[in-house]
Amino acid sequence: MTATVFWPTLLGLSVLAAGLVTYRRDVRTVGLREAFGLVALGPVFVAAAIAAFAGEHFTAATSLATLVPKWLPARVFIAYFVGVAHLAAALSFVARRYVRWSTIGLAVMFGLFVLLMDLPAAIARPAMLSWILAARQATFAIGALALFATETRIRSPHSSNTIATVARIWIAGVLVVYGIQHVIHPEYTPGVPSPVLTAAWVPLPLAISYATGLLLIAFGIGMFVRRYASTAAALGGLLMLLLTLGLYVPQFFLAGNVQQQVTAINFIFDTLLFAGTVLVVSKAISETAASTNGTVM
């Protein structure tokens, strides 16, 4: 196993294992009510994903530096710095220390990705998938803010509720758009839309893609309704987690070379990051609403 495969895998799985330990009591508290207790593990999935991406930044900094805008100095250093920042945020989440600071920092980082890279690229090459990439990175930024809202809900219940409401509406729109994309382009791999065709080994690929699209649309519409928003978001996160485990983890073991393994790692942790983000928003919706109503959960 090469370094470009070993370190992202090791960091991602190590942080995932540590997070499952540190958040085990939260899962028991939530119980089976909200997506089988997985809502409590949203920060763990986010942490595991960004830890894996930190490993990629450490082992492929030179190639990732080409994505940094050319007008910025020290692009290789920026690539390494992003890796350090990702790993620091991941450790903060699983250690449950300084989470308020790390969520703000992570939100700013993903916001800068959108403003400096994804948005200019989408404007320069107008295409639905370019805008979807920008929306995905913005979703990760909003998810970090939703976790911040959860952490600060007792001190600032009304501002936290406002953040959760913005996150709810944004995620709802993104899920609907993603679902429509799957219905329009069922040949592409399900989950977070991308121009990659579904792997040949996947059974009934069109049926899976159509089902994924319809479910995402249903969950997105459900999130627009405040009463059902938390449950719909939890189910959306569960769907993304199932796609991660059922499609992309096997793809890693079926990969025939290093490049295919790296691609599989990106799909695994990118979809896991989206799943964790939606689960974080689900928890923020329910907990901030409860705090605003005078009941601390």
111 token code pair = 């916001």
Report the C-alpha gap between 81 and 277 in whole angstroms: 23
Q: Is pLDDT above 90 for 154? A: no
Q: Which of 86-95, 153-162, 163-172 has the lowest mean pLDDT?
A: 153-162
In this predicted model, which residue has the larger pLDDT, 73 or 154?
73
Chain mean position to CA 143: 8
Q: Is pLDDT above 70 for 133? A: yes
Q: Is pLDDT above 50 for 296? A: no
Report the C-alpha gap between 76 and 82 in whole angstroms: 10
Note the pTM of the prediction, 2 decimals. Answer: 0.94
* 3-class secondary structure, 88: helix
* Residue for token pair 């159509």: 210
pLDDT for the residue numbered 36: 64
In terms of Cα–Cα distance, which of 105, 84, 23 is closest to 276? 23
Q: Is pLDDT above 50 for 297? A: no
Q: Is pLDDT above 80 for 29? A: no
Provide CB contacts within 8 A for 182, sequence distance 6+. Answer: 188, 190, 193, 209, 210, 212, 213, 216
Average pLDDT over residues 213-223: 98
- In this structure, the number of other CB atoms found within 10 A of the CB of residue 74 comes to 11
Query: Would you list the DSSP string of 97-119?
Result: SSHHHHHHHHHHHHHHHIIIIIH
DSSP 8-state assignment for residue 185: -
pLDDT for the residue numbered 124: 84
